[in-house]
A = this chain, B = another copy of it.
Amino acid sequence: MSAIADLSAAELEALRNEVRGKYEAFRARGLKLDMTRGKPAPEQLDLSNGMLALPGNADHFTESGEDARNYGGLQGLAEARALFLPVLGAPPDRIVVGNNSSLALMHDCIVWALLKGVPGSPRPWAKEQEIAFICPSPGYDRHFAICEEYGVRMLPAPMTGQGPDMDVVEALASDPAVKGMWCVPKYSNPTGEIYSDQTVRRLASMRAGAPDFRLFWDNAYAVHHLTERRHEILNILEECERAGNPDRAFVFASTSKITLAGAGVAFFASSAANVRWLLARAGKRTIGPDKLNQLRHVRFLRDEAGLYRHMDAHRALIAPKFAAVAEALDRHLARTGVARWTRPDGGYFISVDAAQGTAKRVVELAKEAGLALTPAGATWPHGQDPHDSTLRLAPTFPSLEEVRAASEGIALCILLAAIDKQCALREAAGGA
């Protein structure tokens, strides 16, 4: 197929009819498919079924002899902190284990920053006239939703394939109103890109206008590889320390997409001062996290090797789904010039840049054909994609067969919307 922009009017019209026919045939199948959210499939959750009877009736003591059933242990079990040390890149005394949601830890850090300030804050963030966060975009909608909820202005920064555009980020960060930045540094949501060493070093060392600037380093996909290559990124905590900004990064992670999505454990890692700050705040909120669930994780995953074996089993289940999406997009869209898409080495998403001004239309067409996609714009601050172009595909939850069918439909919707747009543009140009 040629790029549709190069087609003659007659060729374009013929292609439009052909693609519309295929789309209608797809629609006539009356499918019901959901590619909206990055949820693990039941088969992935089955990998952790061994946890469901843990820790067992007579196994509730920690290595230090604590009774994990009772109150206390605000920082989390030492053995759970040790187990995830390789993921978090901080010694156990600078790791905190929370309940089942790293999003909750991020939320609480923002709320506490607003009401109390963080180490180095001249005053609580809520007492500033206005505050802003740098938001690499497209990004994670739930990060942006927290900013929206609390009136934090969002400053988009474009992604480059190596992380955010650091020239833009550095310029934005020099403003004292800019208090933080969202980062998903590995297999980024949704673009799948990996922050390069240079990106990480520049983030660690750049001048920040605010003395209490924080990187919200959401390493959600630290061990979530889709290929045999286990990509590594630089250790942000070490880089910040080296650059003389030891308190700059709040690191977050969770086992939601390792063990059980609804019943994992979440982690916070940072400098000693930030950890003290977090524990002082958290100690007003709770007497301690669910330590039995931490014990369950330690008993089940055992050690770093166990963690990697477990992630390999996830990969075996979901890599074929990513491949199925790529295959359908390749087959229908290669050389049409209507879209670009990512081929991530990890994470949970494929990001498609559809023809400008067509993403909403693609989601509509898909919906009419029984295919639920993430709303167009969802990956941009306030849900506003300036180019109406980004689509986020989440292939993990449906079965492989469903992913194949859905990918077929998605490719057709992307192509049809682009052709319709091309026709409309030509009509407008012709009419002008």
Partner of A101, one of B56, B256, B261, B287: B287
Chain B residues near A99 (CB, 8 Å)? 99-100, 290
Q: A55 near B52 (CB under 8 angstroms)?
A: yes
Contacting chain B: which of A16-24, A62-70, A375-383, A420-428?
A62-70
Interface residues of A in 108-166 (CB under 8 A from B): 108, 111, 114-116, 126, 142, 145-146, 149-150
Closest Cβ of chain B to A77, distance in Å, is 11
Partner of A69, one of B114, B146, B261: B261
**Number of chain A residues close to chain B: CB under 8 A:** 57
Q: B263 near A69 (CB under 8 angstroms)?
A: yes
Q: A262 near B284 (CB under 8 angstroms)?
A: no
Q: B57 near A53 (CB under 8 angstroms)?
A: yes
With contact pairs A52-B59, A53-B57, A56-B52 given, residues A70 and B114 touching in the complex (Cβ less than 8 Å): no
Q: A284 near B69 (CB under 8 angstroms)?
A: no
Number of copies: 2
Q: A68 near B262 (CB under 8 angstroms)?
A: yes
Chain B CB within 8 A of A45 CB: yes
Can you list 12 A-B pairs, Cβ within 8 angstroms, ordered by A? A40-B70, A49-B60, A50-B57, A69-B261, A71-B261, A71-B262, A99-B100, A100-B290, A108-B285, A146-B285, A260-B292, A263-B292
Chain B residue nearest to A52 (CB atoms) is B57
In angstroms, Cα B142 to Cα A287, docked, is 9
With contact pairs A40-B70, A57-B53 given, residues A262 and B285 touching in the complex (Cβ less than 8 Å): no
With contact pairs A57-B50, A150-B115 given, residues A101 and B262 touching in the complex (Cβ less than 8 Å): no
Interface residues of A in 322-349 (CB under 8 A from B): none
With contact pairs A126-B115, A262-B69, A262-B70 given, residues A100 and B289 touching in the complex (Cβ less than 8 Å): yes
Closest Cβ of chain B to A236, distance in Å, is 24
Chain B CB within 8 A of A358 CB: no
Chain B CB within 8 A of A288 CB: yes
List 7 extra interface pairs beyond A49-B58, A53-B53, CB under 8 A: A42-B67, A49-B60, A50-B57, A53-B54, A71-B262, A101-B287, A115-B126
Chain B CB within 8 A of A286 CB: yes
In angstroms, Cα B261 to Cα A260, docked, is 23
Tell which of A45, A108, A262, A285 has the most Cβ of chain B within 10 Å. Answer: A262
Chain B residues near A73 (CB, 8 Å)? 262
Q: B103 near A262 (CB under 8 angstroms)?
A: no
Chain B residues near A52 (CB, 8 Å)? 55-60, 69, 292
In angstroms, Cα B104 to Cα A31, docked, is 43
Chain B residue nearest to A100 (CB atoms) is B290
Tell which of A50, A52, A107 has the most Cβ of chain B within 10 Å. Answer: A52
